[in-house]
């Protein structure tokens, strides 16, 4: 089976720090693979808050994750501080991709790279919806939906 390759964009306009907790460590002594998706969620939440947005209320719409890709590059250990850089790319009519670069802060060692594809969702109608203009206005010129 071929390995997944995830190329990263050059520019990440936002970064946040998260410390690896003892509860993040698995039986092999490093951060569990399942934990990283939660780290990405926290970073996305902080990215949105930084822009004055809430994941469940962007012009009455919410975000829903449609897919995710994680490429693990190295181990992360308890007590380390991870820097999670976030950007948005690949806009379409209904959503976009959040792309993440996770590095260990002190050494600069790459821990992982990832992407979560999201769509905007009307939770009242239980249906996918067009990207709100409020969201598009925050990220020009990349925001060119098809």
Q: How many CB atoms lie within 10 A of CB 6?
A: 14
pTM of the model: 0.93
Q: How many CA atoms lie within 13 A of 113 on its CB side?
A: 13
Is the four-CA dihedral 106, 109, 110, 112 of positive or negative sign?
negative
Instruction: Provide the pLDDT confidence category of residue 15 given band limits of 50, 70 and 90.
Output: very high
pLDDT digits (tens, 9 = 90+) for 58-72: 999 999 999 999 999
What superfamily does domain 14-138 belong to in CATH?
Hotdog Thioesterase (3.10.129.10)
112-133 burial, b at 16+ Cβ within 10 Å, e below that, comes to bbbbbbbbbbeeeeeeebbbee
């Amino acid at each position: 089976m071929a390995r997944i390759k995830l190329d990263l964009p050059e520019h990440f306009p936002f970064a946040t720090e998260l410390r690896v907790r003892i509860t993040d460590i698995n039986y092999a002594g490093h951060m569990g693979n399942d934990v990283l998706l939660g780290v990405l969620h926290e970073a996305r939440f902080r990215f949105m808050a930084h822009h004055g947005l809430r994941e469940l209320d962007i012009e009455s719409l919410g975000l829903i994750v449609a897919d995710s890709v994680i490429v693990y590059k190295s181990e992360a250990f308890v007590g380390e501080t991870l820097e999670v850089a976030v950007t948005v790319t690949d806009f379409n009519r209904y959503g976009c991709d959040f792309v993440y670069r996770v590095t260990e802060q002190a050494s600069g060692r790459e821990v992982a790279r990832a992407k979560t594809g999201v769509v905007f969702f009307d939770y009242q109608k239980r249906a996918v919806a067009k990207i709100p203009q409020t969201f598009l206005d925050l990220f020009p010129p990349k925001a060119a939906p098809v």
